[in-house]
Amino acid sequence: MPPSSPSAADLYFLGGCDLEMQQIAEVLSDHSVACENLGEAWSGKLYAYHESKIAAAIRRGQRPVLIELGNIPESVQPFVDIIDHHGEDSGHVPTSLEQVLQRLGLTPTHEQQLIAANDKGYIEGMIAAGATLEEVEHIRRDDREAQKITSEQMQQAATAIAARDTSVPGLTVVQLPHGRTAAVTDLLHAYLGGPGYANLLILCPGEVNFYGDGAVITRLKHRFGGYEGGQLPVKGYWGLETSDTEQRKAIRDFVESI
């Protein structure tokens, strides 16, 4: 956890683009806080993209604040503050937006509360936070836009959903031709008018993603590695970057056997 008191020497480095990260960037800008915003999609290489600038900031005597960069070397960690709420912290710490607001001494607005709830608990999280259907639709639309999901990708997701495999009870399997999984989860979700799902496996080019039961996610992480998030240990998501045909089949077989 980062210290609660900000410093004029802080230099924030932001992770991949989604609505939460976009809101963090706006908060920092509104309060004239220095930051480096890569503005790229999620990737395990985010720290590497910022590495030279982080090292330069440390040499200048600044305190880098790394937000959801991932894979931060242990040798660097004593010289930086780390803000995240994924991995082992999933479900146990405030969201990154909430941590930034607390660090700056700010009280979250209603919209920021919903953005945080969405990032941690998705649609169910927003409902639990008191969001209306219109607010849920608004936040989800803004999140897709922040992730740069196109109308063509939404249509491709709709086509993939139409061809989904539900032959295993309680499991929906979708073959998606791109990596924008939010297009699938939003179109499938019953609250937004979709057919719904209990557990969902999305096979993307170069990546496999699972959404659903926390116990399954724990077993997937133990067996295959990867990353996880959400409202664990109850429910959440898991993903692994892999193009290996045999490994992808092994993951699907593993999920279908549980």
Rounded-to-integer distance, Cα 176 and Cα 221, Å: 22
Rounded-to-integer distance, Cα 189 and Cα 196, Å: 5
Is 153-257 assigned to CATH 3.10.310.30? Answer: yes
Question: What is the domain partition of the chain in residue ranges?
Answer: 10-128, 153-257
Q: At what angle do helices 19-30 and 110-128 cross, to 10 degrees?
A: 160
Alpha-carbon dihedral 166, 139, 121, 6, rounded to 10 degrees = 150
**CATH code, 10-128:** 3.40.50
Per-run averaged pLDDT (10 residues), the chain, 258 residues: 58 92 96 84 65 92 92 91 81 90 97 96 96 98 96 98 98 97 98 97 97 97 93 93 97 96
Look up the pTM and report it. Answer: 0.89
Q: What pLDDT, on a 0 to 100 scale, did the predictor assign at position 6?
A: 60
The sign one gets for the Cα dihedral 149, 155, 157, 158 is positive
| Closest residue by Cα to residue 92 from 232, 216, 211 | 232
Place of tokens 């999901």: 149
Rounded-to-integer distance, Cα 98 and Cα 241, Å: 28
| Closest residue by Cα to residue 141 from 22, 15, 13, 14 | 22
Give the contacts of 160 (CB within 8 A, at least 6 positions apart): 174, 175, 176, 177, 184
- Domain 10-128 identical in fold to domain 153-257: no
Rounded-to-integer distance, Cα 175 and Cα 165, Å: 9
